[in-house]
Structure 1
Amino acid sequence: MKKIFALLVAAGISMSAFAAPETFTSDANHTFSSFSYSHFGYSMQTSRFNNTTAKFTVDRAAKTGSVEATIDTKSVDTGSKLFDGHIQGEDFLDTGKFPTITYKSTKVNFKGDVPSTIDGNLTIKGITKPVTLTVTNFHCADHPMMKKMACGANATAKIKRTEFNAGKYAPNVGDEVTLTLAIEAIKE
């Protein structure tokens, strides 16, 4: 064993290169998604989905990973009960038929030791399109209260409502929507 270790060190191979993938499950109290869009050019409206779950696997040594997220469309929170109902209607999310939005990665791209973009498939109203998330923050550390490893990330993507059959009032109500995911997750 000592000879193998000495050979690895001599060859310049780090033991961390053999690190196993780590799996993290979202903390419901610190994970949500939001979306923003132009409202007739007057303002950028921002709303959120209060129930978002995510699970991701990351192997920082191998620079690989995967992400799956599910958004409960009925948890939309615009700050107005009237608009919540409007957004849940057939012209927009049609939550009666499509109670979730899903995202499943196909590839996690790294810059240095952290994920920088995530390629994957976004499904809204039964329509699946390739979407790349840009990771704007990624941090892992021991969680001081949970006493376990935790990772957090923020990621954004721009999508077109009309591509997902949710384009009523476009272009007056902006077709381009910025989707943002905020995830904090605890190691399994």
Structure 2
Amino acid sequence: MRTRKTRTALCSALTALAVAAGALSISACTPLRVVTHTVAVDEARVPVGAYKMDADHWSITFDVEHLQYSRFVMRFDRAHALLDWKPGGLEASTVDVTIDAASVDTKVPLLDKMVKGPDMFDATAFPTLHFVGKRFVRTGRAQGKLEGELTIRNVTRPITLDVTFNGYGRNPLTKADTLGFSAQGVFSRAQFGLATWYPAVGNDVHVRVEAEFERTEKAGA
């Protein structure tokens, strides 16, 4: 009887050890894949199709001069974007971005209300800011100027963003085809009828974007 119990206990212990070892090897693989992960800027390797901005890996900020002391930064907490990657790469592809005006975050609650209010974005009447990229002019291997149109409060004006294609790769965590971009540009808020608080608040708005896109559909789907 004792021999049978001893064997059972030993088998249970070995089984638990094997399970633990297997879990350890699996958990060790994921960090390893992340550490050794690389991306490529070869546009020809990017799968054609529709890409959606990764909801967890993006940043859109505006900054303006504040009383000539510094540039005050505000960010947006809600936005979505679609990228249509076509054969021909950057020069043939298009992007469409929608930003929730009411999601502006200045880190100052009272100022948030003012910026969302009728003196600035008037988010109740005009709930979104909208950008459409229309033409990419290459300036380097993975860089160029994206010419497009920005709409704020139903006023549409041209804007050009300096864009860097950071690369393509299979995300080691999600397994999705993923693209990464950085972009920046400048626009005059007065051109959109947003001259409020000038000159205490500067006219030139600097835009900075960091975004990852994941493929959602193959070409022709």
TM class by smaller structure: 0.7 to 0.9
Q: In structure 1, what is the equivalent of residue 199 of structure 2?
A: 171
Alignment equivalent of 1:22, drawn from 28, 49, 72: 49
Q: In structure 2, what is the equivalent of residue 143 of structure 1?
A: 171
Cα RMSD between the aligned structures?
A: 2.1
Change (3 A) 1:81 1:175: same
- The one-letter code of the counterpart of 1:94 is D
How far has the Cα of 1:101 moved from its partner?
0.3
Richer in helix (by share): 2
Change (3 A) 1:59 1:177: same
Report the count of equivalent residues: 173
- The one-letter code of the counterpart of 2:125 is K
Q: Structure 1 unaligned runs (5+)?
A: 1-15
Q: Is the contact made by 1:32 and 1:51 (CA closer than 8 Å) also made in structure 2?
A: no
Return the TM-score normalized by structure 2. Answer: 0.72
Could you tell me how far apart the structure 1 residues matched to 2:141 and 2:52 are? 20
Secondary structure at the counterpart of residue 56 of structure 2: helix
1:88-114 residue CA offsets vs partner (Å, 9 max, x unmatched): 011111101111000011112234553
How far has the Cα of 1:137 moved from its partner?
4.7
Could you tell me how far apart the structure 2 residues matched to 1:89 and 1:147 are? 42
Q: In structure 2, what is the equivalent of residue 7 of structure 1?
A: none
Q: In structure 2, what is the equivalent of residue 83 of structure 1?
A: 111
Secondary structure at the counterpart of residue 93 of structure 2: strand
- The one-letter code of the counterpart of 2:210 is A
Bigger Rg, which one: 2
Q: Is the contact made by 2:142 and 2:164 (CA closer than 8 Å) also made in structure 1?
A: no
Richer in strand (by share): 1
Q: Structure 2 unaligned runs (5+)?
A: 1-42, 217-221
Q: In structure 2, what is the equivalent of residue 54 of structure 1?
A: 81
Q: In structure 2, what is the equivalent of residue 12 of structure 1?
A: none
